[in-house]
Every structure is written in structure tokens, then in C-alpha cells.
């Protein structure tokens, strides 16, 4: 499985780094979406447990860019039905990546507009730098954020902040993004953000891939459901770990785990979507 528009590498076993660096401003179009659609299978085939997304794109003046938005220019000449089908496809693609059984850290340095801000919702943890800025300008273009910015953003930042961002198009900086919960940390610069992501990746890499996947699935499935269902989801996820043999491995290697040793967890087992 090859990628022409997205840049992927695996600096250490179990860790993948996805780098955006295409076009003038990392605008996201059909070609990039097609590769994002294949990304979960690529991650699974390589036993990836932590994915880091970043950008190395710079403008001609050297301004960092994360993603400046969707590739709207490619839609020139499209029919209304083609536009609607494409937006449904991009929404489904991001939802699939959201459910990938990995810990996904998104690093944002630079301009992060429209689709770029929506991509943050795919991540499990977001780290920005002071150079980052965020906005949802879509309503000024006669549309609305259609890749999660309308249906999912409020679950992360609350209804008032989602309405503020989507209805005013106001651009906010990294500090404000952290205050409202759009990002979780602000690092000093790109290098510090990457080091923080790799620090998290090392912690994730010591854990059971099966337990990681079961935990993430149960947490995401618990959003918006009642207490009884949440309790059952937790029970099923726990039992998945037991049935897969991971609990027995943990018990057998408990002393070593306390010393920082990594037991022979093996590949992810059971419950894959």
C-alpha cells in the first residue's frame, strides 16, 4: 500500500508519523481523502499503536501552515449532487480514522482553518504551538463545517464555543484554543511539540495493543449513552482483554512491568471493527 500525497514513516516500532506537505497550503482534496481512507488499514497491517499527525508546510514567506482548508477549487464544475456526495465521503473518512484503534496525537503549528480545525476532532490528543491559529470560515462561504465542525465540535468545546467559532468565523490563537478545549497543550515550538508527542508515544508503546483498542472503543462508544449502557460497554471491553489472554500476561509479568519492562503483549487481538 503506497501513498503519493501523504507522507508516512515509522520512526520506531508501533509509532507512525503522518506529515502533511502538499499543494500550496495542505488543502485537502479528493486525492488526499482517498489516501486517508486507506490509512486505518495501513496502520493495522503494521501493528501501529500511536499515530502522530503534523505538518512541515511553509508559505513562501515562511509562515507555518497546518491545513488551510478543503480544496474547494477542485469542485469547480461539480454538480450539487457531486459536492454533497464528496462531503459525505470526507465525513465518513474522518469518522473511520477517528475510530482507528491507536492513540492519535495531532500537532498543530501554523494556520489551521476549516477542514484543518475539523481534523483536530479525529485526534485523541492535540498539541499546538504559539504559531497556531484556528478558525471555521465556512458560513461566510455559504456552507457550514461539514467534516465534524457542526455535529462533533460542540462535544469537545461546548455548544457556546462551537456556535461562536462556526457563526462568527473568528480566528483564535493557541492559548484560546487550549482554554476552550480545542487543544490540550501548548508547546514552546514545533520541536518541543514533536518531543511531547514522542514522549506520549513511548508511554503508549509499553501498553497492551488489545487493551488500548478495547479502552478507546469503549470510551468512544460511551459518549451520549446512558449509565447502564456505559457500564456494560466497560464490562465488555474488560472481558475482551481477559478473553484475549492479555490479563493473564499482565499478571504473569507484573513484577517486570513495575520495573518498566514491556511484556510480550503480541498483536492486537479480538474485537476489531
Chain segment 195-204, per-residue pLDDT in tens: 999 999 999 9
- CATH H-level, domain 7-204: superfamily: 2-enoyl-CoA Hydratase; Chain A, domain 1 (3.90.226.10)
pLDDT of residue 269: 86
What is the overall mean pLDDT for the chain? 95
pLDDT of residue 273: 43
Distance (Å, whole) CA 221 – CA 147: 19
Chain segment 17-55, per-residue pLDDT in tens: 999 999 999 999 999 999 999 999 999 999 999 999 999
For residue 56, the 8-state DSSP code is: -
pLDDT at 97 over 50: yes
| pTM of the predicted protein model | 0.95
Task: Over range 74-97, report the average pLDDT.
Answer: 96
pLDDT of residue 271: 62
Q: What percent of the chain has pLDDT over 90?
A: 96
DSSP string for 241-259? HHHTTHHHHHHHTHHHHHT
**What's 208-258's CATH class?**
mainly alpha
DSSP string for 128-144? E-TT-EEE--GGGGTS-
Distance (Å, whole) CA 17 – CA 182: 21
Task: Over range 125-134, report the average pLDDT.
Answer: 98
Task: Over range 208-233, report the average pLDDT.
Answer: 97
pLDDT of residue 250: 96
pLDDT of residue 54: 98
Domains 7-204 and 208-258 are alike in CATH topology? no
Domain boundaries, the chain: 7-204, 208-258
Residue 49 neighbours by CB distance under 10 Å: 24
DSSP string for 188-244? SSHHHHHHHHHHHHHHHHTS-HHHHHHHHHHHHHHTTS-HHHHHHHHHHHHHHHHHT
Amino acid at each position: 500500500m503506497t501513498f503519493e500525497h501523504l507522507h508516512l514513516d515509522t520512526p520506531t516500532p508501533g509509532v507512525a508519523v503522518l506529515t502533511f506537505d502538499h499543494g500550496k497550503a495542505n488543502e485537502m482534496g479528493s486525492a488526499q481523502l482517498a489516501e486517508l481512507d486507506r490509512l486505518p488499514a495501513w496502520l493495522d497491517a503494521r501493528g501501529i499503536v500511536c499515530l502522530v499527525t503534523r505538518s512541515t508546510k511553509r508559505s513562501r514567506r515562511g509562515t507555518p501552515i497546518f491545513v488551510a482548508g478543503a480544496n474547494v477549487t477542485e469542485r469547480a464544475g461539480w454538480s450539487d449532487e457531486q459536492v454533497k456526495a464528496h462531503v459525505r465521503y470526507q465525513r465518513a473518512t474522518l469518522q473511520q480514522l477517528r475510530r482507528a484503534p491507536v492513540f492519535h496525537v495531532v500537532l498543530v503549528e501554523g494556520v489551521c482553518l476549516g477542514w484543518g480545525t475539523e481534523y483536530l476532532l479525529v485526534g485523541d490528543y492535540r498539541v499546538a504551538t504559539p504559531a497556531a491559529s484556528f478558525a471555521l470560515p465556512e458560513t461566510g462561504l455559504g456552507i457550514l463545517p461539514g467534516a465534524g465542525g457542526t455535529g462533533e465540535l460542540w462535544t469537545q468545546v461546548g455548544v457556546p464555543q462551537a456556535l461562536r467559532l462556526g457563526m462568527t468565523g473568528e480566528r483564535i490563537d493557541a492559548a484560546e484554543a487550549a482554554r476552550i478545549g480545542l487543544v490540550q497543550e501548548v508547546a514552546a515550538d514545533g520541536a518541543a511539540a514533536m518531543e511531547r508527542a514522542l514522549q506520549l508515544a513511548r508511554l503508549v508503546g509499553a501498553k497492551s495493543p488489545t487493551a488500548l483498542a478495547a479502552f478507546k472503543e469503549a470510551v468512544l462508544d460511551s459518549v451520549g449513552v446512558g449509565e447502564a449502557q456505559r457500564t456494560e460497554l466497560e464490562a465488555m471491553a474488560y472481558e475482551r482483554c481477559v478473553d484475549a489472554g492479555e490479563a493473564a500476561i499482565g499478571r504473569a509479568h507484573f513484577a517486570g512491568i513495575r520495573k518498566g519492562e514491556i511484556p510480550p503483549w503480541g498483536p492486537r487481538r479480538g474485537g476489531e471493527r
